[in-house]
Structure 1
Amino acid sequence: MVASTYKDKVSQLISWGHWFSFFNIIAAMLLGTRYIIYSEWPTTTIGQLYLGLSWIGHFGFLVFGIYILILFPASFLIPSQRLMRVFAVLVSTVGLTTLLLDTYAYQSVDLHLSPLVWDLLLSGEKTELNTRWQYLFIVVPVIFLIEMIFSEWIWRKLRKLTRKNVGGPIAIVFGLCFLSSHIIYIWADANLYRPVTMQRSNFPLSYPMTAKTFMEKHGLLDRQEYAKRQAQQGINNSEMMRYPIDKIRFIDQGTKQNLLIIMVDSLRSDMVNSDTMPNLTAFAADNINYTNNYSTSNNDSGVFGLLYGLPSGYANSIRAEGKSPLLLDTLQNRGYHFGLFSGEGFEQPIYRDAIFSKTQLATIDNLDNGKRTPSDRLAFNDWHRWIEKQKVDKPWFSLLELTSVNQYEESSDYPTKFTPSLGSNLLHDNKVDSSILLKNSYRNAAYHIDGILAKVFAQLKAQHMMDNTIIIVTSNHGTEFNETGNNTWGSDSNYSQYQIKVPMIIHWPQHVAQVVTRPTSNLDVVPTLMESLFNVASNPSNYSSGISLFDNDNDRRWILAGNNNDIVVIQKGTTTVVDKYGNYRVYNDHYQLMAQDKPKLSTLMQVMHELKRFYVPNSINDEN
């Protein structure tokens, strides 16, 4: 008899739990409309169909999953129906409150609740975001009261609801919506159909199903072709830019000094020493040496930040619209003669798609229609012939990209000063650390570049151009040889000092030699030139995320770096890396993880604002 009573109670509670879950599914769906409001609206029928199916199926699965994991087992453990219902109301109140907070985080910082967002909201900092967030808890008693009312109503109407026999069809509808949405996403992901794939992260805990490995295995997907189309789609569907934000105003025509930018690919800052690069070191001692300078990225996109003065996250939008750098546009408008030379022929797509979209590449013209293989030696020789033809009364601009350091693992035709290096007889000797071989080869390439730089400086002196030429020597990113002990090599593998700290050495006539130790960024090159070479009157915030390198009074608290996937905030003693899902990691100066450290809310809000400031509000290129 007791067993029968217990069985009946459990059966009633399970039946009640199903209807109570259905009510909470509807409540969650209503709150979920906030995600739809603050997300990009799909413009195609398939995209809208997927939105509807995923909205129904996802929240149905989410709430029912909580029921199966928590309330269903509790139905067997809590024999009292009143106590069980109070427990269910508490669980549902916590769930809906969490969902409400997530919609607020999504609206405010475009992220779902994550360790980062929780830490920001619970940081205790007195910010507008925290203040508004705390007001949300006023509705918690209201949610609890509504849950109690429906809990009681469902219990009283349980028999009538059970007789309707609609539970099965309702479950089928939610199941079909859930299954259909994932099938549509599998197709959309394989075909890069953006009106569907752009909704991937609209809802919390949303992980749409993909099947690329399965389709590739059965010959239904070409992975290489897929990667190409994926990269192109990132450009085609990027947000529209306001660059510059306002019309640029100038005080006068500027100083009309010549400008030479030397970009040494992959050169990290500690290579500028008397042993590895003696000529550049001597040049730095006689000019302005910024010893605490950072690139905008840890990969080739660092050149974008250097010439645009914008974070790398804007690169796809710039490429999509073919916007050339304001710096180069101003140089052309001022009548500067261009000379562009590269050891790789400016092979990166960003050069042709955007940077030089309005400029004829001198290097391409000088390579005999591609019959010569580009190299730093040829680039220097072409530059040497070009500079000899420049007239004293006509200003010129030259970009010289040297790439031997990036190609240090390839065969070279220059002598090896640092041994043992790659290709030596000790290569297969187990006693020789491979990192020593690699780093010595890297240093040999840097030493080779140093010889070319010496010839550049000597040529400018021989033509008496040093007194009227601004020279900037820097790099797009550095190179690591596992100095952090994290098994990270080369570039684009972490954001340690070895991969993002780069030289910044400037020769500016009439400026005294000095060593600057305050934090600086390659983002600062554009505002420095615009203000001090062209005498711009507009605020640098209209066209750049940097500040002038000559602004000694600026109290900079953080430096921005990263790429399309990561936001990197460099501060004194720490480097914070935030991925696109809102997960964060804080590292010390040696790039060792600091488990207890947390970023400041005010700092990250400033960073996120800077990463969106140049976009046109509410405008994204839609796919037809």
Structure 2
Amino acid sequence: MVSSGNNYKDKVSQLISWGHWFSFFNIIAAMLLGTRYIVHSEWPASLLGQLYLLFSWVGHFGFLVFGFYILILFPASFLIPSQRLMRLFAVLVATTGLTALLLDTHAYETLDLHLSPLVWDLLLSGERTELNARWQYLFITVPVIFLLQLVLSEWLWRKLRKLTRKHVGVPIATVFGICFISSHLMYIWADANLYRPITVQRSNFPLSYPMTAKSFMEKHGLLDREEYTERLNAQGIETSEQLRYPLEKMAFDDPGTGKNLLIVMIDGLRSDMVEAETMPYLSAFASQNIDFENHYSSSNDNTAGIFGLFYGLPSSYINSARSSNARPLLVSTLEQRGYHFGLFGGDNLRQDPIYSDAIFNGLPVEEMTTTDQDAEVVDSWASWLKAQNSEKPWFSYIELTSVQNFEEGGDYSPKFEPSLGSSNISGQNTNLILKNSYRNAAYFIDEQLIRIFDQLVNRQLMDDTIVIITANHGTEFNETGSNSWGANSNYSQYQLKVPMVIHWPGSVSSVSDRLTSHLDVAPTLMESLFNTTTPSSSYSSGNSLFSPSAKRRWILAGNEKDIVMIQPQSTTVIDKYGNYLVYDQDYKRMDSAKPKLSTLMQAMHEMKRFYRAEQ
């Protein structure tokens, strides 16, 4: 019994010692594969950033491989009595790990994503694409990796005594430990100080979660959260990628039609409010002009929705546009054609950086009126309109905010009861009360639209003016049952689907149910107002609303964190890490649904197509 016990202890001791060396050489192999991440990633601009890269490269892969050893191989050394069987098991584990790492490096090089449920689904989808074919070729290396691991396993077992006598285990472990701890301490400092050469490396390596300590530092007075947030927002602009917009020089057949252009932006108005009871005038106006009933904003957020409308680009380009001081091509062309500019809206029009730093930056605006009262906004616009010289065309932008701010009430009489401010509303359904107040605000806006069009009719401008009525995003009243209210909380149709009614002189009334987007507005105006001959793909991610092309399979929405692909029967939300969720038309999870690889690749390509290529 004593002999048996000693033999078991000796075998386990040998396997543990062998396992340490086996892990060490696999750490070296993982580090060599990890150089593919370094080559594909942005090279740090500072010496400190390069030092962090070295520490994190050594420390992360050392910790990653040794962690798998501790979790898998170390316990197995006690459970598998045969050393040959144990070594075969270790070889299988190492082969699997290095194969997964090889696949991850390829995913990172091609998609800028690490292995995730989305990437695995794409890999195993069976869909025939060039990318999928290349991935499948990687599996050819599996037998090679397996054979190399077998050779390494046998060599280490034969040289185990000689390697053990060298007593270098502690120094090697110390080097890896120092690198690991140093990289996390450096990242804590960099994260608190927004030191980009280090923080930009956060997701370079797989399963990398650098340590942060902002809450701890704020608690002990070492960090001012407000100042940190301000610096973070500023850095997002300064360090964004450079925009290449448009992709080629614009060409025009002629100076364009010379029609006036009026865009009325109704903040927070969802598309189902355009009906006879809530907005009778807009409903009638839509039936007499061009109504796109299946139209979506480019985002559920105010800034990104407006950005998409003017630029025709997804919201992932917002910071780049602001950093590059690149005005929308549409606005620049209006200026070049000699249009007079009149901007009218609330404080948001002057304070929101999307207007001041991007869309209307540096424009010779004749008048900019900012008031939170929509009736006063329309009054100011009417006065400006009277002063316009009919010999020169004008562009006017009116932003109306009563619908967005419906909970604040207004000086208009409610129509739908019960609503906020009404008496005896206790016990009533909160959803009904809020929605009625929202509809009251929409009804009030409808009356302001009457005043706007009366001015155009009275001045006989309808035949010379293009009018676009739309919204930046919609508003939800928990229709999805997910406790979502207002906007910027999910990507359901209640928060994304908005009106798009266009009065185009000389056109016949029509109703379109094809999938359209805010990204389509800029190409529509560039082609039909300014007669550009440059293809829309050179300056936009959308298509002309008047294009006779077939119905599209998907449109893009989202924000800086999420890519949203809206399709006729589903909505797919993909975060920046490659995790995805698929929803049906009612925004209910579709657990078994998966996006097509070809569709996903097109969408991800569109999010990067307008970045300036590195020289």
Say which SS state the counterpart of residue 390 (structure 1) adopts: coil
1:381 counterpart (367, 379, 382):
379
In the other structure, the counterpart of 2:354 is: 350
Deviates more, 1:387-396 or 1:282-291: 387-396
CA distance in 1, matches of 2:417, 2:221: 48
2:595 counterpart (578, 599, 609):
599
Residue 400 in 1 paired to residue 398 in 2?
yes
Contact 2:372-2:401 at 8 Å conserved across structures: no
In the other structure, the counterpart of 1:255 is: 257
CA distance in 2, matches of 1:553, 1:43: 46
Q: Which residue type is aligned with residue 129 of structure 1?
A: L
Tell me how far 1:407 sits from its aligned partner. Answer: 0.9
Return closer, same or farther for 1:266/1:589 CA change in 2, 3 Å cut-off.
same
Tell me how far 1:223 sits from its aligned partner. Answer: 1.2
Q: Which residue type is aligned with residue 77 of structure 1?
A: L
Tell me how far 1:130 sits from its aligned partner. Answer: 0.4
CA distance in 2, matches of 1:20, 1:454: 79
Say which SS state the counterpart of residue 205 (structure 1) adopts: coil
CA distance in 2, matches of 1:286, 1:264: 20
Contact 2:295-2:516 at 8 Å conserved across structures: yes
Residue by residue over 1:189-217, the C-alpha shift from the partner in whole angstroms, topping out at 9 and shown as x without a partner, is 00111000000000000000000111111
Return closer, same or farther for 1:418/1:140 CA change in 2, 3 Å cut-off.
same
In the other structure, the counterpart of 1:83 is: 85
Say which SS state the counterpart of residue 411 (structure 2) adopts: coil
Residue 414 in 1 paired to residue 412 in 2?
yes
CA distance in 2, matches of 1:291, 1:9: 74
CA distance in 2, matches of 1:415, 1:141: 77
Q: Which residue type is aligned with residue 377 of structure 2?
A: A
Residue by residue over 1:399-425, the C-alpha shift from the partner in whole angstroms, topping out at 9 and shown as x without a partner, is 111111111111421111112112222
Residue by residue over 1:428-479, the C-alpha shift from the partner in whole angstroms, topping out at 9 and shown as x without a partner, is x1x2121112111111111111110011011100000001110000111000
Residue by residue over 1:303-347, the C-alpha shift from the partner in whole angstroms, topping out at 9 and shown as x without a partner, is 000011111110100011111111011111111111111133502
CA distance in 1, matches of 2:198, 2:459: 60
Contact 2:340-2:392 at 8 Å conserved across structures: yes
Tell me how far 1:185 sits from its aligned partner. Answer: 0.3
Residue by residue over 1:547-566, the C-alpha shift from the partner in whole angstroms, topping out at 9 and shown as x without a partner, is 01011323311000001000
CA distance in 1, matches of 2:307, 2:493: 19
In the other structure, the counterpart of 2:199 is: 197
In the other structure, the counterpart of 2:468 is: 472
Residue by residue over 1:82-125, the C-alpha shift from the partner in whole angstroms, topping out at 9 and shown as x without a partner, is 11001000000000000000000000000000000111111111
In the other structure, the counterpart of 1:186 is: 188
Residue by residue over 1:493-537, the C-alpha shift from the partner in whole angstroms, topping out at 9 and shown as x without a partner, is 000000000000000011100110011111111111111111001
2:320 counterpart (306, 317, 324):
317
In the other structure, the counterpart of 2:96 is: 94
Aligned alpha-carbon RMSD (Å): 1.1
Residue 536 in 1 paired to residue 538 in 2?
no
Q: 4+ residue runs of structure 1 moved beyond 3 angstroms?
A: 360-364
Residue by residue over 1:134-185, the C-alpha shift from the partner in whole angstroms, topping out at 9 and shown as x without a partner, is 1101111111111111111111111111111110111111111101100000
Tell me how far 1:62 sits from its aligned partner. Answer: 0.4
Q: Which residue type is aligned with residue 254 of structure 1?
A: G
Tell me how far 1:387 sits from its aligned partner. Answer: 0.8
**Count of residues in Structure 1 that have an aligned counterpart in Structure 2:** 611
CA distance in 2, matches of 1:230, 1:12: 52
Contact 1:121-1:133 at 8 Å conserved across structures: yes
Q: Which residue type is aligned with residue 284 of structure 1?
A: A
Contact 1:268-1:503 at 8 Å conserved across structures: yes
Contact 2:267-2:471 at 8 Å conserved across structures: yes
In the other structure, the counterpart of 2:113 is: 111
Say which SS state the counterpart of residue 254 (structure 1) adopts: coil
Residue by residue over 1:20-58, the C-alpha shift from the partner in whole angstroms, topping out at 9 and shown as x without a partner, is 000000000000000000000001011001100000000
2:309 counterpart (306, 311, 319):
306
Q: Which residue type is aligned with residue 361 of structure 2?
A: S
Deviates more, 1:98-107 or 1:447-456: 447-456
Aligned positions of 1:19-98 closer than 5 A: 19-98=21-100
Contact 1:363-1:379 at 8 Å conserved across structures: no
Contact 1:324-1:358 at 8 Å conserved across structures: no
In the other structure, the counterpart of 1:622 is: none
Residue by residue over 1:237-273, the C-alpha shift from the partner in whole angstroms, topping out at 9 and shown as x without a partner, is 1000110110000000111111101111111100101
CA distance in 2, matches of 1:125, 1:64: 36
Residue 555 in 1 paired to residue 551 in 2?
yes
Contact 1:305-1:523 at 8 Å conserved across structures: yes
In the other structure, the counterpart of 1:175 is: 177
In the other structure, the counterpart of 1:581 is: 577
Q: Which residue type is aligned with residue 389 of structure 1?
A: A
Say which SS state the counterpart of residue 470 (structure 1) adopts: strand
Say which SS state the counterpart of residue 241 (structure 1) adopts: coil
Residue by residue over 1:326-374, the C-alpha shift from the partner in whole angstroms, topping out at 9 and shown as x without a partner, is 101111111111111113350211111111112144554x56xxxxx53
Deviates more, 1:98-107 or 1:169-178: 169-178
How does the TM-score come out when normalised to structure 1?
A: 0.97
In the other structure, the counterpart of 1:143 is: 145
Say which SS state the counterpart of residue 189 (structure 1) adopts: helix
1:425 counterpart (423, 426, 437):
423
In the other structure, the counterpart of 1:370 is: none
How does the TM-score come out when normalised to structure 2?
A: 0.98
Contact 2:515-2:551 at 8 Å conserved across structures: no
CA distance in 1, matches of 2:397, 2:233: 27
Return closer, same or farther for 1:102/1:426 CA change in 2, 3 Å cut-off.
farther
Aligned positions of 1:330-345 closer than 5 A: 330-345=333-348
Return closer, same or farther for 1:612/1:422 CA change in 2, 3 Å cut-off.
same
Q: Which residue type is aligned with residue 153 of structure 2?
A: S
CA distance in 2, matches of 1:618, 1:17: 44
CA distance in 2, matches of 1:182, 1:442: 49
Q: Which residue type is aligned with residue 435 of structure 1?
A: N
In the other structure, the counterpart of 1:610 is: 606
Say which SS state the counterpart of residue 263 (structure 1) adopts: strand
Residue 132 in 1 paired to residue 134 in 2?
yes
For structure 1, the residue ranges without an aligned partner over 5 or more in a row are 368-372, 620-624
Residue 329 in 1 paired to residue 332 in 2?
yes
CA distance in 2, matches of 1:275, 1:482: 22
Residue 439 in 1 paired to residue 435 in 2?
yes
Say which SS state the counterpart of residue 239 (structure 1) adopts: coil
CA distance in 2, matches of 1:316, 1:507: 32
CA distance in 1, matches of 2:457, 2:433: 36
Q: Which residue type is aligned with residue 250 of structure 1?
A: F
CA distance in 2, matches of 1:536, 1:36: 43
Residue 522 in 1 paired to residue 518 in 2?
yes
Deviates more, 1:384-393 or 1:324-333: 384-393
Tell me how far 1:618 sits from its aligned partner. Answer: 3.0
Say which SS state the counterpart of residue 399 (structure 1) adopts: strand
In the other structure, the counterpart of 2:486 is: 490
Deviates more, 1:286-295 or 1:548-557: 548-557
For structure 2, the residue ranges without an aligned partner over 5 or more in a row are none
Deviates more, 1:391-400 or 1:276-285: 391-400
Identity %: 65
Contact 2:514-2:551 at 8 Å conserved across structures: no
